Structure 1
């Protein structure tokens, strides 16, 4: 089982140090949260900066609230970051359930699931190099991975879990082991019900995980990776967390 590192959001300028240290350690992935009405760095912008400061580690949104963003520009931003990071981007998407985020973005809260499905259809088409519409041509650049970057989804409702099987490569569970196991099982069933080959990637996200027993609990559930989120801003936390892996 792999271990990733969720980045703190309190001091965006410190993220370069966090990323460089993590790139030289045992971590597989850097994760960054998304909100609009909150004091956090915008994840695609921040991860683009971190991509230039690292060479190995993967860069993951957790989760990017796609309905808050324009679809065509989002598809272009994602493809650009994926291409310039040599395919290290992992795009984890969600709909966002906080009313203030949608109010500021001017997007209808109750339409967020349907909006995401429409966005996914459009972005998949854009990433294949097909014309955007009858009135507009293709939107480049092409992503590093044909058809777009690895695509994960977060969420708890049945529609969100089913979306993994319809559109994605895997699922990100921001839940304790007692809850994550049922979510993983639901995603696996949906995956096979939709006739998908193989198995979905299963990731867990926890705010604090101190010591191997916490990590083993997710490994026993079949998690492929656990993202450790530490909200201290001292970059030395990277080395301390690495000792637990």
Structure 2
């Protein structure tokens, strides 16, 4: 099973570049970056394009991009460009979010976000052929797509449009989501198996964990932010345990999303997972 890292939600160039360089030189498979509109985080497609130029090996991933708040032709061009500039190392994690403020500012009806994403997937597939909006992606048909999903309708999108699931909810909910995706994959007659990526929040050491909990609470707000803060993994034995849990579920990848900004977290977590 592969292990990736989620980048902290900071808009500091030097910090993000140091994170990326350390991760690229280490045992990690992926660097992920979250997305919101009404929050002080860097825009993920722009940021990952910068990091593509600072790395050679590691994959780059949105976790997850709020596609419904974006205009589809421009999104198609941005994604195709990033796929090319990264040398095919980009994974497009997609979701719909659920915060009123992101949708209010973008002028999109929150209640129609699921239907809008479904329509966008049809249009994206057509646009990535490169006949009208170019360039075409380096990856034929478009980059790998993961859906962040919990609800049945969202989980069904994996088999219909995607390559796999990004399960970022509480670990106790992973088995239900994974089983649902694998079953819908079989019913859809898809070849092979869906990619299964699971994600937890982590920050090693007291100072980093304190910062991480505050950042997560600010990002998620009440009441879910308190749950995220309380469940933050901050001890090596907790990381060892969650790795074992993910392996038991036959997950393909575990993302440790780190909410603390110090790049030393990359080195500390690398030491734990290679011990």
Q: TM-score range by the shorter chain?
A: over 0.9
Give the 3-state SS of the residue equivalent to 2:272 in structure 1.
coil
Q: CA deviation at 1:176?
A: 2.8
Matched residue, 2:58: 57
Distance in 1, matches of 2:102 and 2:55, equals 31
Q: CA deviation at 1:214?
A: 1.5
Q: Does 1:198 align with 2:198?
A: no
Task: Give the gaps of 5 or more residues in structure 1.
Answer: 131-137
Matched residue, 1:6: 6
Give the 3-state SS of the residue equivalent to 2:56 in structure 1.
coil
Distance in 2, matches of 1:53 and 1:94, equals 27
Distance in 1, matches of 2:99 and 2:262, equals 29
Matched residue, 2:254: 226
Distance in 2, matches of 1:3 and 1:116, equals 28
Distance in 1, matches of 2:119 and 2:157, equals 12
Q: Does 1:181 align with 2:181?
A: no
Normalised by the size of structure 2, how large is the TM-score? 0.85
Matched residue, 1:134: none
Distance in 2, matches of 1:78 and 1:4, equals 21
Normalised by the size of structure 1, how large is the TM-score? 0.95
* Count of residue pairs the alignment pairs up: 238
Matched residue, 1:75: 76
Q: CA RMSD in A?
A: 0.9
Any residues of structure 2 matched to 1:9-158 within 5 Å, and which?
Answer: 9-13=9-13, 14-130=15-131, 138-158=132-152
Task: Give the gaps of 5 or more residues in structure 2.
Answer: 203-232
Structure number with the higher helix fraction is: 2
Deviations 1:109-161 (A, max 9, x none): 0100010011110010011224xxxxxxx111011111000011002111100
Distance in 2, matches of 1:4 and 1:100, equals 30
Distance in 1, matches of 2:267 and 2:122, equals 41
Distance in 1, matches of 2:240 and 2:55, equals 27
Deviations 1:154-178 (A, max 9, x none): 0211110000000000000012321
Distance in 2, matches of 1:155 and 1:100, equals 20
Segment drifting more, 9-18 vs 72-81: 9-18
